[in-house]
């Protein structure tokens, strides 16, 4: 519930602010994600994306909203998983899948801009929906949850032409989310991400 309030407040804040818009930025990108969770999916995800909006309050500061999504998938060969208490065990092979959907409010600080480059650092805070699924034999088990997510980010817009209002975007982020997955005894979801995209502003 608290998470919903944070998200709604963030959205209101940003949309109220746009009434005074001087400069807005819209970005989309493809995301490559590297999961960083012990004893679970390790395989890199190429199935991710991002849409974001930023409003510039100053030349070097913006706030906005971002929506990211990513699907991770890995085949786990047949093996026996024993619960920590040693009383129960399950043997099977699995196709494990994680679907991640962070919805965040963002803040970015921009360093000195050159003709071609507009580098920045930023932070995204918000809620993350996470669905963890295990497919085995002819069955599937799902566990979905909401958690708080924090995503620090560094990136740069590369402008092919300094007079045009667009640029390529390359960014890297680390994401830490508090999603709890009872199915897998996981208390968080962590990943590194790289964004390759494009940004438009006016």
Partner 1 sequence: MKRVYFFLPLFSLAFFACRKTPDTTPLTVGFVVQTAKEPGANFSNYKTYYISDTIALKTSNPLDSLWFDSDAKQLVDAVKTNMDARGYTMVTSNHGHPDLGLGLTVIEDLNIGVIYPGWWWGYWGGCYWGYCGYPPYYPWYGGAYVYSIPTGTIILDMIDLKNAGADGKLTVPWGSVMSGGLGYTNDDLQLGVEAINQAFEQSPYIQSH
Q: Which residues bind partner 1 (CB under 8 A)?
A: 26, 28, 30, 47-49, 51, 69, 71, 73, 75, 78, 80, 82-83, 85, 87-95, 97, 99, 131, 133-142, 165, 183, 200, 202
Residue closer to partner 1 by CB (options 47, 188) is 47
Residue closer to partner 1 by CB (options 1, 89) is 89
Q: Is 202 helix (H, G, I), strand (E, B) or coil?
A: coil
Hey, how many other C-beta atoms are within 10 angstroms of the C-beta on 2? 8
Hey, how many other C-beta atoms are within 10 angstroms of the C-beta on 178? 17
Give me the least distance between CB of 5 and partner 1, in Å please: 25
Give me the least distance between CB of 152 and partner 1, in Å please: 23
Which residues, in sequence order, are bridge partners of residue 33? 45, 193
Give me the least distance between CB of 112 and partner 1, in Å please: 26
Q: Is 5 helix (H, G, I), strand (E, B) or coil?
A: helix
- H-helix or E-strand containing 11? helix 2-17
Residue closer to partner 1 by CB (options 43, 114) is 43
Q: Which two tokens stand for residue 183?
A: 């199915």
Residue closer to partner 1 by CB (options 91, 114) is 91
Residue 180 and residue 11: Cα distance in Å, rounded?
Answer: 25
Give me the least distance between CB of 87 and partner 1, in Å please: 5
Residue closer to partner 1 by CB (options 135, 192) is 135
Give me the least distance between CB of 55 and partner 1, in Å please: 14
DSSP state, residue 163: T
Answer yes or no: are the C-beta atoms of 2 and 10 closer than 8 Å: no
Rg (CA), the chain: 19
């Amino acid at each position: 519930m608290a998470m919903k309030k944070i998200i709604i407040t963030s959205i209101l804040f940003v949309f109220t602010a746009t009434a005074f818009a001087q400069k807005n930025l819209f970005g989309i990108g493809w995301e490559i994600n590297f999961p960083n969770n012990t004893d679970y999916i390790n395989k890199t995800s190429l199935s991710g994306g991002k849409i974001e909006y930023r409003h510039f309050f100053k030349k070097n500061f913006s706030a906005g909203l971002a929506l990211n999504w990513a699907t991770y998938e890995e085949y786990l060969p047949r093996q026996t998983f024993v619960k920590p208490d040693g009383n129960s065990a399950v043997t099977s092979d699995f196709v494990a899948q994680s679907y991640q959907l962070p919805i965040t409010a963002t803040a970015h600080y921009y360093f000195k801009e050159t003709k071609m480059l507009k580098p920045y650092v930023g932070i995204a805070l918000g809620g993350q929906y996470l669905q963890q699924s295990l497919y085995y034999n002819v069955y599937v088990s799902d566990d979905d949850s909401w958690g708080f997510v924090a995503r620090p980010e560094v990136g740069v817009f590369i402008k092919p032409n300094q007079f045009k209002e667009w640029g390529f975007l390359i960014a890297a982020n680390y994401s830490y989310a508090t999603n709890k997955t009872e199915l897998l005894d996981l208390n968080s979801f962590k990943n590194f991400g790289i964004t390759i995209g494009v940004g438009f502003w006016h």
